[in-house]
Amino acid sequence: MRVTVIGTGYVGTVTGACLSYCGHRVTCVDTDARKIDKLRRGEMPIYEPFLDELLRQAAGRGGIDFATELDEAARASDVIFIAVGTPPLPSGEANLCFLEAAARGIGASMDDARFRVVVNKSTVPVGSGNLVETLVREGIRDAHPAGVKRIRFGVASNPEFLREGSAIADSLYPDRIVLGAEEDGTLQVLRELYRPLVSQNFDAPAFLPRPVGLRQVPVVTTTLTSAEMIKYAANAFLAVKIGFANEVANICERVGAEAPQVMAGIGLDSRIGARFLNPGVGWGGSCFGKDIQSLLHTAHEYGYQSRLLEAALEVNRAQRQLVIQKLQEKLFILKGRSIALLGLAFKPETDDLRDAPSLQIAERLLQMGARVKAYDPIAMPACRENYPDLRIQYCPSAEEAAQEADALVLVTEWKEFAGLDLRALARRMARAILVDGRNLFDPEAARQAGFDYCGIGRPQRAARPNSAGLTAP
């Protein structure tokens, strides 16, 4: 099929690459000419593992190209995806200006040569499917007043569940595909489009083998509104689950229980599940916070107050402050201290810094008069570019960041940090204090390496009394 994807961010580029890899002919369109130039040169505008390789292979399969103008691509397409950003406004409401421009542009590009399906992949407030339909119609009316009746299109919602860092695997081997539409004809087109992914009958790329046993991907077909709600409900649930783990970890710390053990113990319950139960410095990223705020905003519009979701935001805000408290407990005074952050990206395997805990931690430390150094394997250029006022000293390695530092804070659990030589690191520091914000290290090993270690929900063991009633070392 002929496909246009509007927006070449984390979602649009991956969607375009995967659909093209499955045999569709794809054009990715973005108003950002710099991104399009890069993609045309074979350079990646974002960091996402395997994306460059997948795009190279896609070019030789369905075929993929990149454009800044929508008209020609949309006219030639059976399916047009909207994958533009929907960032939060200060009120918490989703900013729909990019979506509106894209939908109007689609309308203006259409002719009556074929039936087209406009698919909204951006995360949008409940009811936006109808908005897209209205805007496309307005675009048609403004550009071709005589063609309003003849130009045929359907609107669908196809929320995206990929995770940055594993976006290609999530898109080629998804847990489910959600299709929301009001007419059968529209759903039919999307079933056809997704057939290779649903039946998994494409050759898996050598660099990302198909998960063992995956033969068929479940498809959930719903109304537009339910599809939009599924996306928000999924993100809200995951954020609440992490928030719950953090709350329990904070209680563990006080009563002397080991949070990772507690989480392992409850995660084995099949009703609970082990994933998203790692206590830490809080979730971040471009989705959870904005999506919960947007859902709260919609709920308010309907006169409903979701106390649970409000609490999820509050618990996460407080969790990010925990690092500062732990540093104050260890160092008392932060003014003039040198604090080294390991990791800036909101999670490993991405360069995305949107709503990253590292930013708030760094800002707070700087406000309190501390000096902040940082090392991140991938996200430092993006941090420099997008947050030029943040007075972080960027270091070329974890070792350089640790040099003469008063404390080391692990913020993002990049794999390479797990392999660090802790003993050598501790020796470089002015004070060997390690705040492990993701519980990446074994506390005992860190202590033996010379660190004064604290994790999240991992109380320092009190010495046990020995049989003679004396305290063992």
Q: Note every long-range contact of 85-89, with CB atoms under 8 Å and residues 24 or more positions apart, other chains counting.
A: 85/7, 85/9, 85/122, 85/286, 86/122, 86/123, 86/124, 86/290, 86/294, 87/286, 87/290, 88/289, 88/290, 88/293, 88/294
What is the number of alpha carbons within 13 Å of residue 225 lying toward its C-beta?
A: 2
CA pair distance 433, 411, nearest whole angstrom:
14
Q: Least separation, in Å, of the C-beta of 66 and ligand NAD?
A: 11
- Using CB under 6 A as the binding rule, the residues of this chain from 108 to 137 that contact ligand NAD are 122-123
Count of residues that bind ligand NAD according to CB under 6 A: 26
Question: Taking CB under 6 A as the rule, does residue 9 contact ligand NAD?
Answer: yes
Q: Which is nearer to ligand NAD, 406 or 413 (CB)?
A: 413
- Using CB under 6 A as the binding rule, the residues of this chain from 45 to 84 that contact ligand NAD are 83-84
Residue 110 and residue 142 in contact, taking contact as beta carbons nearer than 8 Å: no
| Segment contacting ligand NAD by CB under 6 A, of 1-9, 52-60, 312-320, 324-332 | 1-9
Binding flags for ligand NAD, 250-289, as an x/- string (CB under 6 A): ------------------------------------xx--
Catalytic residue among 22, 252, 287, 454: 287
For 4, 163, 467, the CA distances from 71, given in Å and listed in that order, are 10, 30, 82
Residues in the chain: 473
Binding flags for ligand NAD, 446-465, as an x/- string (CB under 6 A): --------------------
Q: Least separation, in Å, of the C-beta of 29 and ligand NAD?
A: 5
Shortest CA distance to 15 belongs to which of 64, 69, 73? 64
287 is catalytic: yes
Phi-psi region of 236 (alpha: psi -120 to 50; beta: other; left: phi over 0): alpha
Q: Which is nearer to ligand NAD, 296 or 434 (CB)?
A: 296
Q: What is the CA radius of gyration of the chain?
A: 25
Question: Taking CB under 6 A as the rule, does residue 160 contact ligand NAD?
Answer: yes
| Segment contacting ligand NAD by CB under 6 A, of 4-12, 390-398, 414-422, 458-466 | 4-12
Tokens representing 90 are: 């200060």
Q: Which is nearer to ligand NAD, 30 or 253 (CB)?
A: 30
- List of residues contacting ligand NAD (CB under 6 A): 6-12, 29-32, 35, 83-86, 98, 101-102, 122-123, 160, 162, 164, 286-287
